[in-house]
Amino acid sequence: MAIDAARFSLEGKVALIVGGAGDLGKAMAGRFAEAGATVLLTSRKVENLEKVAAAIKEKGGKAAAFPSHLGKSEEVKKMIEMVKAEYKKVDVLVNSAGANPQMVPLMDLEEWAWDTVMNVNLKGTWLVAKEVAKMMKEQGTGGSIINLTSYLGFTTIDLLGAYCTSKAAVAHLTRVMAAEWGQYNIRVNAIAPAWIHSRLADPFLALPGVNEKQLSKTALNRFGDPDDVALAALYLASNASNFTTGAVLGLDGGMLLGK
């Protein structure tokens, strides 16, 4: 029997990727475009977004950039209004922005760093998702929202206390959204990666002894790459997952198995 690959198609859909210029956002944007979606990218720096959009267009895909400060509600609303005016709808939302400006023990963490982590990782996820959910409700066709949490939302690690806390909150926020918005046919799921080689993870892995210690905790004896996340996101974005909501999909290489 042939695989029904059409269930993974995003043809005719509009996908908004928050943090679209990051390594994970870029990989997801590429996969979504390959699957037929019009990909809209948002983050603070428009020049970085435009580079990603240009690369997608060079390969025959459809993409556009919409700059926005994700921790400020007025900017988020402005960005959503621009998307609505030009594209009329959003079928898929990915909240992929992440921040962790200080790698220090909680006792030494400065308040501004705590606020930055919570504003980007948690508050920004909520601000964008609630505005997009309103659009999806009005559309009457529902949609898929994918939040990026982390395996660190289910365990702890030295020097990343605020990040762990924010990602635990995102995992539970995902469940709350799924419970409230399922009545509108809006599915809300999360992806919880462990160490994925990226600009966010690699500085921590480069600290003395960290790479070897973290690698020893994996069952697969390797870290992930952005495309691992992109393929999981494609499943959650597509009709292949149309009975999945409130789930947190682990992509941790077995790190939570307790090795």
**Per-residue tokens: 129:** 């998702």
DSSP conformation letters of 43-70: SS-HHHHHHHHHHHHHTT-EEEE----T
Q: Tell me what percent of the chain is helix, strand and coil, each rounded to the nearest 5.
A: 50, 15, 35
96 neighbors 18 (Cβ within 8 angstroms): yes
Q: What is the SS3 assignment for 243-258?
A: CCCCCEEEECCCHHHC
| Catalytically annotated residue among 87, 151, 163, 184 | 163
**Per-residue tokens: 230:** 């992109």
Specify whether 163 is catalytic: yes
Tell me the catalytic residues.
163
